């Protein structure tokens, strides 16, 4: 069986760390190394990590004397990796049962693939994860098709928070971009995809946990922030690994048009709800992002985006007093 390096960055997750580590150890793989990278936690994370390492030779612990930030831990993990495959699994998340083996086997069958992504399922709450699922199929998507789809839905279909990467490719692509706070995993997935095909499982690879300290919680409440972060991802990608793609101009234009479409409809939604200041800023974002796209009404967005037509109908109903 090929070898796998899994890095688990941790900061103040002593209460969640054992379940995270167990979700990896229970995958049934012998050639696996787990490196817990503690970022100067202020709780009992280090003691918990050392106890886990003492109980299983496959677990190692790295302790930072000061908090160097999440990106530094991610990039340290890349530098340390020397197995066939590599993964970063945050300490507050879990690895879905049986999916690591399924992922390794899929990558072994397709040496042209650089990365494996799972399905993006809603996060779970509490300590009880969803029931295990079986990956019935692993779809191989060519680089060009994957990147086109990613631009067309501005990354909404990319479940990159947990991905299994061919280590040799990760070393070539390099480190995470520390300037991208919220969607650094999405940007990394795009960079990896630029080097080859992508395997997409029809089941989640990682299981996200919803809790009060989620870093991305701010995005869920602020559409403009979310869109700006996505824009930053695509601008970074096209300025680096995507710069030499044959259709870079078309792909970048597509991503910017879709961001503008989303911002335009969000502006209308905010306006209908009486949130004029937010609506104005969203419209300005749309106009600046894709000037030729606005003020032409981007009706296609309602048909492309799951649930958008239903939400638009509901908002209009509220605006005219039907609901």
3-state SS, one letter per residue, for 78-97: HHHCCCCEEEECCCCCEECC
> Of 200, 217, 234, at which residue does a domain stop?
217
Contact status, residue 94 vs residue 206, Cβ threshold 8 Å: yes
Q: Compute the distance between CA of residue 239 and CA of residue 126 in angstroms, rounded to an integer.
A: 40
Shared-domain flag, residues 159 and 304: no
Shared-domain flag, residues 136 and 275: no
Q: Is residue 231 part of a domain?
A: no
Q: 245 — phi, psi (to 5°)?
A: -65, 145
Shared-domain flag, residues 308 and 254: yes
> Of 202, 217, 232, at which residue does a domain stop?
217
> Of 196, 217, 238, at which residue does a domain stop?
217
Shared-domain flag, residues 44 and 129: yes
Tokens 């009486």 correspond to what residue? Answer: 274
Q: Which residues contact 218 (CB under 8 A, 6 or more apart)?
A: 182, 225
Q: Residue 295: is the preceding peptide bond cis (ω within 30°)?
A: yes
Question: pLDDT digit of tens for each residue in the chain (323 aa)?
Answer: 799 999 999 999 999 999 999 999 999 898 999 999 999 999 999 999 999 999 999 999 999 999 999 999 999 999 999 999 999 999 999 999 999 999 999 999 999 999 999 998 888 888 888 888 776 778 999 999 999 999 999 998 888 889 999 999 999 999 999 999 889 999 999 999 999 999 999 999 999 988 766 555 566 678 999 999 999 999 999 999 999 999 999 999 999 999 999 998 899 888 888 888 999 999 899 989 988 765 555 555 555 566 655 654 554 445 434 33
Shared-domain flag, residues 208 and 267: no
Shared-domain flag, residues 251 and 186: no
Look up the domain containing 63 and give its range: 4-217
Closest Cα to residue 213, out of 118, 131, 71, 90?
A: 90
Shared-domain flag, residues 267 and 204: no
> Considering the entire predicted model, what is its pTM?
0.87
Shared-domain flag, residues 39 and 187: yes
Contact status, residue 60 vs residue 22, Cβ threshold 8 Å: no
Q: 303 — phi, psi (to 5°)?
A: -85, -30
SS3 125: strand
Q: Is residue 239 part of a domain?
A: no
Shared-domain flag, residues 66 and 145: yes
* Helix H or strand E encompassing 79: helix 70-80
Determine the angle formed by the axes of helices 248-272 and 308-319, rounding to 10 degrees. Answer: 30
Q: Is residue 9 part of a domain?
A: yes
Shared-domain flag, residues 28 and 132: yes
Q: Compute the distance between CA of residue 46 and CA of residue 53 in angstroms, rounded to an integer.
A: 10
Q: How many domains does the chain have?
A: 2
């Amino acid at each position: 069986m090929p070898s796998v390096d899994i890095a688990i960055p941790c900061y103040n997750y002593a209460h969640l760390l054992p379940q995270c580590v167990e979700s990896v150890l229970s995958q049934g793989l012998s050639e696996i190394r787990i490196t817990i990278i503690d970022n100067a936690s202020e709780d009992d994370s280090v003691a918990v990590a050392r106890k886990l390492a003492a109980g299983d030779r496959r677990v190692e612990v790295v302790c930072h004397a000061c908090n160097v930030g999440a990106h530094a831990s991610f990039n340290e993990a890349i530098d340390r990796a020397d197995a066939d495959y590599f993964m970063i699994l945050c300490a507050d998340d879990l690895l879905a049962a049986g999916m690591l083996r399924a992922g390794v086997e899929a990558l072994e069958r397709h040496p042209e693939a650089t990365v494996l992504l799972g399905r993006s399922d809603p996060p779970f709450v509490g300590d009880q994860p969803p029931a295990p699922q079986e990956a019935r199929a692993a779809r191989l998507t060519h680089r060009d098709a994957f990147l086109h789809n990613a631009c067309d839905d501005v990354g909404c279909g990319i479940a990159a928070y947990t991905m299994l990467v061919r280590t040799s490719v990760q070393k070539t692509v390099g480190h995470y971009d520390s300037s991208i706070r919220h969607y650094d995993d999405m940007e990394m997935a795009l960079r990896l995809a630029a080097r080859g095909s992508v395997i997409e499982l029809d089941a989640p690879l990682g299981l996200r946990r919803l809790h009060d300290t989620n870093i991305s919680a701010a995005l869920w409440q602020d559409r403009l922030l979310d869109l700006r972060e996505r824009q930053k991802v695509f601008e970074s990608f096209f300025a680096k690994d995507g710069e030499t793609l044959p259709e870079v101009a078309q792909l970048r234009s597509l991503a910017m048009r879709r961001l503008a479409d989303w911002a335009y409809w969000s502006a209308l939604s905010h306006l209908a709800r009486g949130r004029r200041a937010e609506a104005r800023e969203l419209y300005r974002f749309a106009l600046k992002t894709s000037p030729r796209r606005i003020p032409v009404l981007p009706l296609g967005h309602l048909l492309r985006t799951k649930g958008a037509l239903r939400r638009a109908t509901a908002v209009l109903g509220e605006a005219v007093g039907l609901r």
